[in-house]
Structure 1
C-alpha cells in the first residue's frame, strides 16, 4: 500500500509482513516542459534538470557526508546515486538514490533527502514531478510525494530518514525552498534535524 505523503507526516519503515526495511530507494521523476506553438506549429520542449541529493547527519546535527550529482557514492559506500539526468527524458524514475540502511554507519543519525531545480524552473512549471520511496528488496513503492503541485519553488526538503529506538523511520518534511543545490538548502534543513 502506497502512502501519499503529506507535509509533516511520519511513517515507520517496516515491511507489511514484519521486519524492518533494510534497502530503500528514493526515486525522482519528471518530464521536460512542453510548450505549444501557434496552431500546433513551433512546439518546443524545454529541458529541466532536477537533482536528488541526500545529506547524512550525525548526533550533533553536523553533516557527515553528501551524495549528489557531484559525488555519486557516500564515503562509506552505504548510499549510491544512479547518476545525473539533465533532461527528464524517459519513463519512470529519472534519478534514484539507493540506500543500504543496514550499512549506514552508526554515527549517522539521519538522512535528509532534497530535490533542487538546477536549471532554475520552479515546480509549478515542471510536469509530472514526483519523489517516492521504495522498498528496494521488492521494488515496492512505500510512499510518494507529488512535486508539481508545490507552486513557485525551485527546491524542496523532501523527507528525513532517522533512527529511533534502533529502527529507521521516515518524516515527510515537504518544506518548500529556493536553491540550485543542497548547499543552498542547509538553512531550510537545519530546523528539521
Structure 2
C-alpha cells in the first residue's frame, strides 16, 4: 500500500497541498525519471479534489474554527484544512494510507526533515509549479547564483517543497486570487 507521508505533528493538511502529497505518494517509488507521471497526477488531482469537496466526499474545515467549512470555493477552499483522519477516509479506497512522522528526540525539525523527500527532475519541477511561479524557468537557470540550488537541490534532484518555499520567500509565487481574477477592460491602462 502506498503511503502519504506527512511532517511530524501535522493534524491538518492545507487543502492547497493535498494534490502534491497524494501525487507524491502515488509516484514516490516509480521510475518516473522526467516526472511526467507525478505532474499528470497532480494536475488531475487539482481538478478532482474540488469536485470531491463539492460532492461531500472530502470534508474540509474552516481554518479559523476548525468546524465544517461554510463556503469552500475559490481562495477559501485553498485555505481550508483537511484533518488527517478525513484525509485517511478519503484515500483509503484509492489504495493509499496516511502516515504522520513521529517527532524525533534528536532535536528540532529542520526544513529538510519536514520537506518532501521526492526528488524531482528539472522538467517535473517546472510542470508542477509553472502556474503559480511564472519565473521558475529563469530562476532555475540562475539557481547557482540566486541561492535556489543551495536551498532546494540535492544529489537526486529538486525538492518541490523547498523550491516553493524559496520562491515564496522571494515573492515569486502568484497569489490564488491573482490567478483566478477575470480579465478587466482596465487591465494595462496603468494608473
* Bin for the TM-score computed over the shorter chain: under 0.3
Q: More strand per residue: 1 or 2?
A: 1
Structure number with the bigger relative contact order (C-alpha 8 A, sep ≥ 6) is 1
- Please state which structure has a larger fraction of its residues in helix: 2
TM-score normalised by structure 1 residue count = 0.25
Mark the structure with the bigger radius of gyration: 2
Q: What's the TM-score once normalised by structure 2's chain length?
A: 0.25
